[in-house]
Structure 1
Amino acid sequence: MSTSVSNPSRTSALPRITSPWRSVGAVVCLFWLVMAVIGPWLAPHDVGQVVSDDIFGPLSAQYPLGTDYMGRDMLSRMLVAARYTVGLALVAALLSSMIGTFIALAAAVSPRWLEDGICRLMDALIAIPSKMLALVIVAGFGSSVPLLIITAIIGYAPGAFRIAYSLAASLYTMEYVQVAQTRGESRLYIALREMLPNMLNPVLADLGLRFVFIVLLLSGLSFLGLGVQPPDADLGSLVRENIGGLSQGAAALIAPALAIGTLTVGVNLLIDRISSHRNGR
């Protein structure tokens, strides 16, 4: 006599756990994205206009984020700086992820000798610290918005490649890929139609991480004076130029630093939410 024993999944026996912080992350990311798009039009003053004789002025109804080291309105400067920080990081992260993913797909479906060559090249680039690479490039060629984007791509596309390649190499051994090969489908078709759709969720999660890394990289370069150059400024530049207000606890220094912190934490919370949905939690 045989008996059947039911073995319910542990996941189904556990209550569904939701965290309000994941929703907070989405709200924070949406806020900064909106500010990057419409912020400059909301600025109450011209970004370079000296509006007060009070240097490192406190928070007030007239100047909600105080004034900076020259008496300029910090709210106006932050609304404009957010466009540079979010815009540059978003463009660089998207391009890094796209380039890394498509190189990974090309390597996964290529002959073994070419696959090995691509992997060795990417491993060599990954071994170079991104901040050191950025310092060398900017010091050698000067600082400009296009060069900052290119620098971030060179620094972070290899990492995106490594994540995407591990996924692509695993998918290439799946039965549905073998069936497509048997049907005589081209390598391009297999990469884009059979493999890429099954990689999207992990790649999107990695894209969020690339964005955070690039925000911190560009902010660090700007803090060293090698990022966005005057008269333009990003959030890192605002921290650097108002560092003289550190001893006073000036809002002109604290506000951009908090902005960078909330942006990076918000993106991390959003990534956690995406990952949880992917895992069915």
Structure 2
Amino acid sequence: MTNLHTPGIIRSGASKFVSAPMSAKFGIVIITLYALTALLAPHLARYGEAEIVGTQFEPWSAAFWLGTDNLGRDMFTRLIFGARNTIGIALITTILAFSIGASAGLAAATFGGWTDQILSRLVDVLMSIPQLIFALLLLSIFGTSIPTLVIVIAVLDSTRVFRLTRAIAINAEVSDYVEVARLRGEGPIWIMTREILPNIAPTLIAEFGLRFCFVFLLISGLSFLGLGIQPPTADWGSMVRDTATLIVYGDITPLLPAGAIALLAVSVNLIVDWFLHSASGLKE
């Protein structure tokens, strides 16, 4: 059954790509390249992720295409593995944040009453402290392991997802199709999953892309400050910190991981803009 639909899905995806604006095509191509780099990192890298292969800050050469860092590790290799680690951890964190925030937001909008009050006040407390400061505080207390990093950032970021989901779900909850479902005798869980969620899905999908950017930038920022992804795991934020000294000598090496971060953020936003425009039904 799946095989019969696969060619149609491929043709549909190809036609959407062809009809997409140049900005969206650029974003899709860049995201695809990043994804392939992350998946094929061990095969593309010239050395081991944490392998010391030379002296510190060696210049670009045939042996070290992008030079070495402060410990003598190959920058090209670290840049490639950084794609896998930074993007992978950010994606997992965003999925967890959405699972928590969207579920809580839908429950608050659908059940209302004390459920809404308790969840909303809890979110207010979490949002009352700036996210970066709160993350730094919690990571200082609970440690900086990758599971702790993912959980802390996911919980903090889920508050933003909760607010958006609750707002758009409340608007959908008073719509005619929801009232009809109630008159049919449908329960709140059925209404939440079969009526409200499908109708707010486009907005949530777009928000997922934006949230991924924010989470990605937050993790990179925490790594730059020393409380994100810890050595010897390669991460673009910590790579900027490790090679920042080279800027004084006119070496652009620190700009490479910084540029990789910026390019990914721009590409995701280009795709999100195109998706929102397509979902709105507006024409050029």
TM-score, with length taken from structure 1:
0.89
- Distance apart, 1:186 and its partner CA: 1.2
Kept after mapping to 2: 8 A contact 1:67/1:252 = no
Looking at structure 2, the residues matched to 22 and 57 of structure 1 have their Cα atoms a distance apart, in angstroms, of 38
Alignment of 1:1-281 (within 5 A): 19-53=21-55, 55-280=56-281, 281=283
What's the CA shift string for 1:195-243, capped at 9, x where partnerless?
A: 1111111001111111111111111111111111112121111111112
What's the CA shift string for 1:6-47, capped at 9, x where partnerless?
A: xxxxxxxxxxx9641221111112221222222133111112
**21 and 249 in structure 1: CA distance in 2 versus 1, 3 angstrom threshold:** farther
Kept after mapping to 2: 8 A contact 1:46/1:76 = yes
Letter in 1 for 2:183: T
**Match for residue 9 of structure 1?**
none
Kept after mapping to 1: 8 A contact 2:38/2:81 = yes
Kept after mapping to 2: 8 A contact 1:109/1:187 = yes
Looking at structure 2, the residues matched to 49 and 103 of structure 1 have their Cα atoms a distance apart, in angstroms, of 44
SS of 1:94 mapped into structure 2: helix
**48 and 251 in structure 1: CA distance in 2 versus 1, 3 angstrom threshold:** farther
SS of 1:246 mapped into structure 2: helix
SS of 2:59 mapped into structure 1: coil
What's the CA shift string for 1:122-143, capped at 9, x where partnerless?
A: 2222222110111011111110
Compare 17-26 and 244-253 and name the one that shifted more: 17-26
Looking at structure 2, the residues matched to 110 and 32 of structure 1 have their Cα atoms a distance apart, in angstroms, of 41
Between structure 1 and structure 2, the one with the greater Rg is 1
Compare 196-205 and 20-29 and name the one that shifted more: 20-29
Looking at structure 1, the residues matched to 59 and 248 of structure 2 have their Cα atoms a distance apart, in angstroms, of 14
- Distance apart, 1:83 and its partner CA: 1.2
Moved over 3 A (4+): 57-62
Looking at structure 1, the residues matched to 75 and 234 of structure 2 have their Cα atoms a distance apart, in angstroms, of 12
Looking at structure 1, the residues matched to 77 and 249 of structure 2 have their Cα atoms a distance apart, in angstroms, of 21
- Decide which structure has greater helix share: 2
SS of 1:109 mapped into structure 2: helix
**Match for residue 10 of structure 1?**
none
Looking at structure 2, the residues matched to 19 and 213 of structure 1 have their Cα atoms a distance apart, in angstroms, of 24
Looking at structure 2, the residues matched to 263 and 208 of structure 1 have their Cα atoms a distance apart, in angstroms, of 11
**Match for residue 13 of structure 1?**
none
For CA contacts below 8 A with separation 6 or more, give which structure has more relative contact order.
1
SS of 1:185 mapped into structure 2: coil
SS of 2:111 mapped into structure 1: coil
Looking at structure 1, the residues matched to 251 and 68 of structure 2 have their Cα atoms a distance apart, in angstroms, of 9
Looking at structure 2, the residues matched to 208 and 248 of structure 1 have their Cα atoms a distance apart, in angstroms, of 37
Over aligned residues, Cα RMSD in angstroms? 1.7
Kept after mapping to 1: 8 A contact 2:49/2:234 = no
SS of 1:63 mapped into structure 2: coil
Residue correspondences, number: 264
Looking at structure 2, the residues matched to 250 and 67 of structure 1 have their Cα atoms a distance apart, in angstroms, of 12
Letter in 1 for 2:22: P
What's the CA shift string for 1:220-275, capped at 9, x where partnerless?
A: 11111111111212111111111221212334312111111111111111111111
Looking at structure 1, the residues matched to 262 and 67 of structure 2 have their Cα atoms a distance apart, in angstroms, of 19
| Consecutive unaligned residues in structure 2, runs of 5 or more | 1-18
Identity in percent: 39
Letter in 2 for 1:145: I
What's the CA shift string for 1:27-78, capped at 9, x where partnerless?
A: 112221222222133111112223334x433333432222222332111111
